[in-house]
């Protein structure tokens, strides 16, 4: 009979970050577990992970809620994320329920050790901390009359790249940011923030990341070099901040608050509010014109786009459109505003300087995210109900084609070079990486629950 055995080697790879909100007040922390398997060109192997638990002074803490099937196709995936009791843990134990190998084209079920694999580690879980554990699984084959497959588990520690090589993903349902190496497409860190993180903005001068915590009515300020939260800035109760943007000189942070239907202007040197300005009913999206410094805000239920002029601190109606405007994008050089509307479902092209509509481009459904490339002058429009991203030449009022998606895409962002397009799929808990030139999907990455937005520092 073929034997199935587990060998365990450990390289500590635990990353710890404090979080705020209700979870920080509870006597628990969070652990997020990823597993990596190499791409094997030999015999195919499938292994079912039945359970996993951390063992230490607080006792046993289950960290795998449902069985997970892995194979030798290679790649990284998220196993689980769990709240666990504070304390010191010394062992991670994983049990397997099934292993199948394809040997000479024939599937063969292998015996599993009921004791599983025990991986030594040493980690202390603090109240409100968020931790990343990266496991490596390598099925090694031994030759002979009775070949054996020896899946070896280890903890992986990986040096983190510079901020410009990272992608930050806010996970509204998980209360942390997923940090991804945008060249290897691997998760390399997690950062705990407040409840319901949504929009983000990056300051090049301060090397800080601003995060809007919609559930806590506050902002997290993160040092991207250390990936530590250096400050939490409170807003007013009920603001429910969603989108963030910086002024071109980075002296002002604009905070869009749907809960109070206001635009909050905060000074980045003092973290003090310098003004609150009423917007229309249910403000949704925001974009800053780097040429004029004006801030455009789409208002879902008042059917208009508001414009905030920071020079004279005034608010006016920039454009009135029918039926529920949502997402915005801007060509600042040409002074063209791109606006998605729900009814009728279309992309509207607006002269940002004069406020008049110049064109409308029909879509198969309402757009749920927009991203504009000034280099190629292409507009990418996520259309969740059609499971696609439309690629549009707005100047010529026609679609170049579409990018098929495995689930419903929402918000879109481009990297600073315009080479990669990032699309979040909240219902699938995934980030999709797309080559913006070839319009081909390059990777799908497991992130936290209900990802809201991806952002790449410049």
pLDDT band at 292 (very low <50, low <70, confident <90, very high): very high
CATH of 160-192+365-458, one of 2.30.40.10, 1.10.150.120, 2.60.20.30, 2.130.10.10: 2.130.10.10
Max mean pLDDT among 112-116, 347-351, 376-380 falls in: 376-380
- What is residue 354's predicted lDDT score, i.e. its pLDDT? 82
Mean pLDDT across 378-404:
90
Compare 97 and 440 and report the one with higher pLDDT.
440
Burial of 304 (0-12, 13-18, 19+ CB in 10 A): buried
Confidence of residue 52 (pLDDT cuts 50, 70, 90): very high
Percent of the chain with pLDDT over 90: 63
What is the pLDDT of the chain when averaged over all its residues?
A: 87
Using 50, 70 and 90 to split pLDDT, how confident is the model at 353? Answer: confident
Mean pLDDT computed over 202-208:
95
**Most confident range, picked from 2-6, 319-323, 409-413:** 409-413
Q: Flag whether pLDDT at 22 surpasses 70.
A: no
pLDDT digits (tens, 9 = 90+) for 407-457: 999 999 999 999 999 999 999 999 999 999 999 999 999 999 999 999 999
Cβ neighbours of residue 420 closer than 8 Å, sequence gap 6 or more: 182, 414, 433, 434, 435, 436, 442, 456
Q: What pTM was estimated for this model as a whole?
A: 0.91
Predicted local confidence at residue 164, as pLDDT = 87
Average pLDDT of the residues in 307-324: 86
Does pLDDT of 261 surpass 90?
A: yes
């Amino acid at each position: 009979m073929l034997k199935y055995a587990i060998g365990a080697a450990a390289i500590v790879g635990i990353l710890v970050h404090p979080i705020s909100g209700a979870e920080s007040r509870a006597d628990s922390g969070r652990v997020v577990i990823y597993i990596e398997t190499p791409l094997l060109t030999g015999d195919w192997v499938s292994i079912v992970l039945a359970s996993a638990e951390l063992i230490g002074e607080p006792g046993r803490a289950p960290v795998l809620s449902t069985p997970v099937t892995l194979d030798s196709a290679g790649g990284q995936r998220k196993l689980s994320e769990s709240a666990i009791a504070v304390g010191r843990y010394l062992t991670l134990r994983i049990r397997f329920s099934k292993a199948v190998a394809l040997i000479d084209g024939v599937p063969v079920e292998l015996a599993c050790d009921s004791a599983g694999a025990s991986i030594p580690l040493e980690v202390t879980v603090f109240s409100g901390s968020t931790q990343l554990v990266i496991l490596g699984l390598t099925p090694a084959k031994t030759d002979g009359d009775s070949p054996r497959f020896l899946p070896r588990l280890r903890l992986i520690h990986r040096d983190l790249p510079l901020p410009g090589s990272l992608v930050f993903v806010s996970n509204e349902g998980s209360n942390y940011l997923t940090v991804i190496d945008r060249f290897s497409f691997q998760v390399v860190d997690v950062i705990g923030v407040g409840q319901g993180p949504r929009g983000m903005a990056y300051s090049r001068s301060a090397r800080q990341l601003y995060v809007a915590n919609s559930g806590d009515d506050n902002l997290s300020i993160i040092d991207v070099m250390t990936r530590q939260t250096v400050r939490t800035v409170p807003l007013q109760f009920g603001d429910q901040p969603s989108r963030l943007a910086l002024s071109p000189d980075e002296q002002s942070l604009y905070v869009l608050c749907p809960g109070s239907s206001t635009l909050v202007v905060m000074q980045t040197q003092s973290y003090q509010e310098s003004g609150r300005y009423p917007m229309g009913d249910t403000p949704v999206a925001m974009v800053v014109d780097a040429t004029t410094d004006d801030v455009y805000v789409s208002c879902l239920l008042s059917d208009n786009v508001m414009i905030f002029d920071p020079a004279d601190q005034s608010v006016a109606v920039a454009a009135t459109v029918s039926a529920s405007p949502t997402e915005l994008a801007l060509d600042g050089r040409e002074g063209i505003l791109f606006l998605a509307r729900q009814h009728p479902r279309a992309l509207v092209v607006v002269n940002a300087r004069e406020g008049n509509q110049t064109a409308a481009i029909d879509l198969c459904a309402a757009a749920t995210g927009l991203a504009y490339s000034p280099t190629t002058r292409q507009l990418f429009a996520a259309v969740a109900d059609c499971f696609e991203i439309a690629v549009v030449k707005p100047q010529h009022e026609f679609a170049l084609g579409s990018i098929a998606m495995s689930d419903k895409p929402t918000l879109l962002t481009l990297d600073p070079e315009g080479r990669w397009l990032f699309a979040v799929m909240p219902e699938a808990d995934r980030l999709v990486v797309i080559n913006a030139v070839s319009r081909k999907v390059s990777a799908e990455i497991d992130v936290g629950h209900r990802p809201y937005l991806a952002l790449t520092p410049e």
